[in-house]
Structures are given as C-alpha cells and as structure tokens.
Structure 1
Amino acid sequence: MGCQGVEEYKIMLPVALGNGVNPVEVKEVLYQTIDYLGLGRVMPFFKVTNEIMTARGIKLPLESQTKTTMENRLEEGEQTQIRLFGPQMKDFAKRGIINKWLVDNCFGDYYTRSGLDDRDREMITFCYLAAQGSVEPQLLAHAKVNIGLGNDKEFLTKVVLQNEPFIGYPRSLNAISIVNQAAKELEK
C-alpha cells in the first residue's frame, strides 16, 4: 500500500488470507493506512480487499472494531499518544488544527481500535512511512516507539529488508539509517 502497488496487493492479499491473516487484521491494516497515505491513495485497496473477501465468502461489513465515540476520541487519542510517545505529548492537540486531527483521528479513532495491537500498528506505520520517503522525523519517532514496544532494531531491519522489493533501495537505505539512529539514541 505504501508504494501504491495495487496489482501486487491483488496477488499478496489472498496469500495472506490463506496463511493466517484474518479479515479483521486486513481491514485494520487498511484503516491504519488512511492517516499516513491519505484516503485517495488507499481507496483502491479497499475496493480490491472487498472484492477478494467477497469472492472468498467473507461476509461484509465486518464487525466494527471501534472503541471510541465522537465525545471521547480526543481524550482517548491523547492518552494513546502519551502511552506510546511519552508525557511530552500532553496537550499536543492544542498546538494546531492538524495536531488536533492527528490526536483525535489517527490516535483516537484508529490506534484505539481492536483487531491489531500496538506493536502491529506501529510496525505497519513504520512501513507506510518508510515507503513515503522524505518523512524522516516521523519515521524516526515511530522507529523509537517500535523499539520501545519490542520491535527491536533487528526486527525493524528485517521489516525493511522484506519491503525493499516494494519500496526500492534508496528508501530502504534511508529506513535502515533511521532504525540505526533510533537504536543509538535510545541507548543513551
């Protein structure tokens, strides 16, 4: 998804579904993608996913994984950000409108959902960011969170190596550099 490889996704999704990835996990990966790639770039993947799932006899829509409401999503999002990134995230939403959207939508609407745990969500986010290129500050922040959650330097390096055919050498080299930087900074 990060590299916009819809044709490759059409091949890989049935393989994933046939090898233990369940439909809820697939949909959660898609929902997680929206905040990092934008709805316009993710919509073709929803179409393909729904077609493949329907062809496999999977009843759609799937059961909702939503855990927040419009009334508590900002508060829940802030708590999630603080839990993952640290106390410096307190009042992050007050620093601007995009910051608020990031807290209530990305962290309040998506990170709080069931279906994937924090480690999986952060690994997926790391992949999306690595595929984008030119987002090194965000990639570094998420590499540090990944390491803090147990997705250590060795694991993230393997993730990058698995994604190299999809994102290419330059972005892979940049991602490895960021992983090394994150690990070094966390050692201090």
Structure 2
Amino acid sequence: MANEGLSEFNTYARAALKAGVKAEEIKEILYQATPYVGFARSASFIKQSARLFKELNIKLEDNRGTTDEKNRFEKGLQAQVDIFGEGMRQIPKGMPEDTQFIRAFLSANCFGDYYTRKVLDLKFRELLTFVILAALGGVEPQLKGHIQGNLNMGNDRSVLISAIAVIIPFIGYPKTLNAFSAINEIAKA
C-alpha cells in the first residue's frame, strides 16, 4: 500500500492465504496501514481484498472494532502509553495550543480506531507500522519513534532489521538504507 502496488495485491494475498495467513489478518493489515498511507491509498486495497475474498468464498466478520465515540480517545491513549510509555499523557502540554487538536485526533483515530482492533496484537501492529513507515520513506522522525515503540514492545534490533530485509525488493535501496540508518541511531548494535 505504501508503494501503491495494487497490481500485485492479489498475487501476494493468495500466496499469504496459501501459507496460512488468515483473511482476517490480511484485512487488518490493510486497516492498520490506513492512518499512515491515507484513505485514498488504502481504499482501493480494501475494496480489492473484498473482491478477492468474495471470489474465494471467504466470508469475514466486519465488526472487529473495539471502540466507540465515547471511549476511542481513552483506549487509543492507553495503546500509546502501552507502546511509548506514560510520557504520552503529557504531550499536549508541550504543543502549541493551535495544534493540540491533532493529539486528540491521533489518539482517538490512529490508535483508538486502528491499534485497538481485534485479530492482530499490539506488538505486531507496531511492527507493521514500522514497516509501513519505512516503505513510505521521508517520514524518518515518525520512523524513529516507532523504532523505539517496537523496542518497547519487545521487537528487538534483529527483528527490525529482518523486517526491512524482507521488503527490500518492494521499497528499494534508498528507503532501506534510510530505515537501517534510523535503526542504527535508535537501536544501537
């Protein structure tokens, strides 16, 4: 999704299913990418997955969300705290007043609506986020933050390096080298 590879989606989704990845997991991976790549990119992949699963007679439960309007901020903030630590509760205090809205929206939407969903655990979602950001490129501050988040969740340096090594053919060498540089800075050998 980060590199707009819709033409290859069916091939890789079919291979994943054959290898034992569940359709629900594929769908959740697509949903997890949405706040990072944007809905404009993710929508076509989500629609394509629905067509593929229909073709393969795979029926999915679509109600994997765990939040509602009343609790999405608190659940999202708790996910951020679980990943990044208690300091996440203090972030609005250091932000300019006119940009504090993004903090609430980030907690409620990105972390509340997506990270708290069923099927994928928090540790895997954080690893997936790291891979998505590396594939996007040009987002090194966020990439570094999520490297630290991965370390906090137990995904060590070797896991991060292995994840990038697997996606080299999909993201190219410049983004790979940038990801390795960020890993080297945050998760020193």
Is the TM value for this pair above 0.5? yes
Corresponding pairs, count: 184
Aligned equivalent of 2:173, options 169, 181, 186: 169
What CA deviation, in whole Å up to 9, does each residue of 1:45-75 have, x standing for no partner?
0121111111110124x24111111101111
Query: What aligned pairs does 1:3-22 form with structure 2 within 5 A after superposition?
Result: 3-22=3-22
Alpha-carbon offset, residue 168 of structure 1? 0.4
1:153 to 157, 161, 171: 157
Question: What are the within-5 Å matches in structure 2 for residues 1-188 of structure 1?
Answer: 1-60=1-60, 62-92=61-91, 95=95, 96-184=100-188
Question: Aligned pair in 2 of structure 1 residues 168, 130: CA closer, same or farther (>3 Å)?
Answer: same
In the alignment, structure 1 segments of 5+ residues that lack a partner are none
Moved over 6 A (4+): none
- Give the superposition deviation at 1:93: 5.6
Deviation at 1:8, TM superposition (A): 1.7
Change (3 A) 1:65 1:92: farther
Taking only the aligned residue pairs, the percentage that are identical comes to: 42
The Cα RMSD (Å) is 1.5
